[in-house]
A = this chain, B = another copy of it.
């Protein structure tokens, strides 16, 4: 059955009847059924309760004709097992109570034991697979070593990544040791999801675009390579970042069957940088979904045109859908992708 999923075929650059589409953060706050659950449970509680995570994963599939589900989780879920004190402050996103500052802090980080630290994730994956039956394949994911490291160093989200780059530039040995540990955690976390049954993986290096390609090559590439290499041959791998126009070619070297790109880069230009022997995922500007339906349709058409009907195009937004997005506009997008790409 699996072999016939449009999404998985596109990951392998096989011809498909129409372009598959899913949406980063498709399980989330723009849906009122999500907000209804969220009103009664904290964000981490929702992640850690398999029944809730599974329910929220399935919500968008009930509404929209998406070609893939993605397990409801947060890229920071592997951190608490390492000894990182993670909370989600109201309206402020993740807060890390004990940011890493020193070599000793790095040494104190523990390896991830998925069975002990994130068993709820495997349980949620198994529940979703059971409920989805053959409706759509399920994607698992993790933050990439750099993006996870940046949260742990900054103590949360960041604008200028001062702590991250200060360690990287000023104490490269500590940086490399930190990234080694992060890579091991990410590998263990992703392998655990594959064992539980996800049918594809996305590695989110969401903030890597704050680096020059030279810094990426020196400080990040070895670790993303290690992670993607360890998972190669299991399930299709999507390698995603934003702001990557200057480093996409270098990112590609790390691996991935499909490269995710944001809306800044025209897909034809992305393929020109990457070469034709890789899939590309993207790349409608998420803000397009605030525009009237006819504008959404015209812009979907433009993305499809840039992809030029290539095997290996997976339609997505260039980054996650925003919480205030009108859900009926998501419907417009999904319908337009399928209709306009029908072969």
Contact A213 B266 (CB under 8 A): yes
CA distance A166 to B245 in the complex (A): 24
Contact A287 B212 (CB under 8 A): no
Flag whether A115 is at the interface (Cβ < 8 A).
no
Using CB atoms, name the residue of chain B closest to A209: B264
Flag whether A243 is at the interface (Cβ < 8 A).
yes
Give residues 279-332 of A contacting B (CB, 8 Å): 285-288, 290-292, 295, 299, 302, 322, 324
Contact B212 A290 (CB under 8 A): no
Contact A322 B160 (CB under 8 A): yes
Chain B residues within 8 Å of A286, by CB: 160
Chain B residues within 8 Å of A265, by CB: 212, 246
Least distance between A291 CB and chain B CB atoms (Å): 4
Contact B247 A287 (CB under 8 A): no
CA distance A264 to B215 in the complex (A): 9
CA distance A214 to B209 in the complex (A): 20
Contact B165 A290 (CB under 8 A): yes
Chain B residues within 8 Å of A166, by CB: 287, 290-291
Chain B residues within 8 Å of A291, by CB: 166, 169-170
Selected from B162, B264, B295, B322, the residue in CB contact (under 8 A) with A290 is B162
Flag whether A219 is at the interface (Cβ < 8 A).
no
Interface size range on A against B:
35 or more
Chain B residues within 8 Å of A322, by CB: 160, 162
Using CB atoms, name the residue of chain B closest to A247: B264
- Per-position contact with B for A212-226: 1 when CB-CB < 8 Å, else 0? 111100000000000
Selected from B169, B209, B288, the residue in CB contact (under 8 A) with A295 is B169
Give residues 141-184 of A contacting B (CB, 8 Å): 160-162, 165-166, 169-170
Using CB atoms, name the residue of chain B closest to A269: B246
Flag whether A30 is at the interface (Cβ < 8 A).
no
In the complex, the 7 A-B pairs of residues with the closest C-beta atoms, listed nearest first: A245-B245, A245-B246, A165-B287, A169-B291, A246-B264, A166-B290, A170-B291
> Can you give 22 A-B contacts (C-beta < 8 A)?
A160-B286, A160-B322, A161-B287, A165-B287, A169-B295, A209-B243, A209-B264, A210-B264, A211-B264, A212-B264, A212-B265, A212-B266, A213-B264, A213-B266, A214-B302, A215-B285, A245-B264, A246-B264, A246-B265, A246-B266, A246-B269, A247-B264
